[in-house]
Homo-oligomer: A and B are copies of this chain.
């Protein structure tokens, strides 16, 4: 027997409609590519998004078509998202930080039919346009005055594109499982793979992050969305803020300390979100200029592990609560959030900090388990570590075009490729990437834990630990180190430094000194390349 409740599909444009009716005067603020800071409201944005939808429809864009964006966070980018999804087309965020060839591969793999871009990227777009097989027209996110003189087929300024379109255009109706957004993950190996969000997953995900122990945004908040919209949906902020009627502030192209501080200050931002790199720049700027953050209540830090010292500085020096977060493009991206639970919040600060350094706990809607090599579930005791698998309504069940099938099992679990522990309170800690774990005599050694310790040595600029073949133990750890300029340290110096900090059998069997480590386009250490380089390395212990 079915319930007798209304068939009200979860569609993302309903979020903007809600904002326009119930939070009409709430502001959307953007630092534009042109320079000035632009102010609009949800009430003004909704009819402009409908214009985008109408203009796209007139160009023949229809249900299921992919429309790419190569753009900073801005009100126009946000309008574009809602306009695209309002006719059942799919916004496809391209990451401008990738190599041009990767962008071409991704846009062609997705069959993007149009490309909206910020004029910052005009040269890049002109460079790749000849290789974009399916893109029929280009929309520069600017007005006619700022339209670049570029050799691009069917190029039009955004404001001209929507000028005579209907601000009362009716959104299309369709199933809530209709595709809505697309974002490719760039792994450290292989081609990027496309994650295809649905309307349902985006709406549910926004509702999940709006809970008090997740982001918990309210109408009284002003949120600065530093995390890019091309980075896993800007962590849902462009959906969550209008859903709850929070003011949203977009940094456009500027992430330097002075620019971020200016927005935090003038827009009385109460919550913000980005990766540690951005916060390093901000903290340095605050320090140099002796500034405070009186309005800011909390900062969401994700993307990669957040240094303990950064958490401490934000909290102790600036009175800003740090919420450590972890997620993946495949998870929309929310996985876990490091908000403090009732029985932790009153602990002494150092103990609280231990919890803040973990990746956090999962909200309702994210199931997690850790498993061993035979896929048997491991205990949630904070000690056992295993492959982290996740399940939920905003988690991928496959990649665009059937790529990467190995990551999904028959019970619907997605294998994150991470190795983690889960503690009895539900806090998760990433201990490694599964492929980087060192398998020594059937036991696992976490490369990340050793790396994090090694970079604490005053002479070490960067460190990586990889497994190298060993006749007795299968693999043993090799520490690969880049020293800071002008500093010296011997193998023994480094091993002595690690001694006592890790289990004896985790101690690297050798240390290799290199001038630099290989990195991916997004800045991650490319361990696959490192393993290749040291593929035939003979450890001094190999003869034991």
Residues on A lying within 8 angstroms of B by beta carbon are 1-8, 10, 14-15, 18, 21-26, 63-64, 90, 175, 177-180, 195-201, 204, 207-208, 210-213, 216-220, 243-245, 247, 332, 339-343, 345, 361-362, 364-365, 367, 380, 391-400, 412, 414, 424-426
Contact present for A345 and B220 (CB under 8 Å): yes
Contact present for B211 and A341 (CB under 8 Å): no
Cα separation A22 to B365 with both chains bound (whole Å): 12
Question: 13 A-B residue contacts at CB 8 Å?
Answer: A1-B64, A3-B178, A3-B196, A5-B198, A5-B393, A5-B394, A5-B397, A207-B208, A212-B217, A212-B218, A213-B218, A219-B339, A220-B345
Cα separation A4 to B397 with both chains bound (whole Å): 6
Write the nearest CB–CB distance from A264 to chain B, whole angstroms.
Answer: 17
Contact present for A412 and B8 (CB under 8 Å): yes
Contact present for B4 and A196 (CB under 8 Å): yes
Residues of B within 8 A of A216 (CB): 212, 216, 218
Contact flag A396-B245 (CB < 8 Å), given A220-B342, A220-B345:
no
Cα separation A342 to B425 with both chains bound (whole Å): 35
Contact present for B247 and A342 (CB under 8 Å): yes
Write the nearest CB–CB distance from A410 to chain B, whole angstroms.
Answer: 13
Residues of B within 8 A of A204 (CB): 207
Cα separation A23 to B361 with both chains bound (whole Å): 10
Residues of B within 8 A of A26 (CB): 342
Residues of B within 8 A of A340 (CB): 220
Besides the known contacts A210-B212, A211-B243, A247-B342, 9 further A-B residue pairs in the complex with CB atoms under 8 A apart: A3-B199, A3-B201, A4-B399, A5-B196, A8-B365, A8-B392, A22-B362, A22-B426, A23-B341
Contact present for B341 and A3 (CB under 8 Å): no
Contact present for A6 and B426 (CB under 8 Å): no
Chain copies in the assembled complex: 2
* A212 in complex: contacting residue of B1, B212, B367, B400, CB < 8 Å: B212
Cα separation A207 to B272 with both chains bound (whole Å): 23
* A25 in complex: contacting residue of B2, B200, B212, B343, CB < 8 Å: B343
Q: Which of A211, A332, A396, A425 has the most CB of B within 10 A?
A: A211
Contact present for B341 and A7 (CB under 8 Å): no
Cα separation A339 to B212 with both chains bound (whole Å): 15
Write the nearest CB–CB distance from A299 to chain B, whole angstroms.
Answer: 17
Contact flag A392-B6 (CB < 8 Å), given A207-B207, A342-B26:
yes
| CB-based closest 3 A-B pairs | A3-B198, A1-B64, A212-B218
Write the nearest CB–CB distance from A416 to chain B, whole angstroms.
Answer: 14
Residues of B within 8 A of A343 (CB): 25
Q: Which of A5, A24, A216, A243 has the most CB of B within 10 A?
A: A5
Write the nearest CB–CB distance from A87 to chain B, whole angstroms.
Answer: 13
Contact present for A200 and B5 (CB under 8 Å): yes
* A244 in complex: contacting residue of B178, B199, B201, B364, CB < 8 Å: B364
Closest to A390 in B: B6
Residues of B within 8 A of A426 (CB): 21-23
Residues of B within 8 A of A22 (CB): 361-362, 425-426
Cα separation A216 to B243 with both chains bound (whole Å): 14
Contact flag A364-B18 (CB < 8 Å), given A210-B212, A213-B219, A244-B212:
yes
Residues of B within 8 A of A7 (CB): 397, 412
Closest to A408 in B: B6
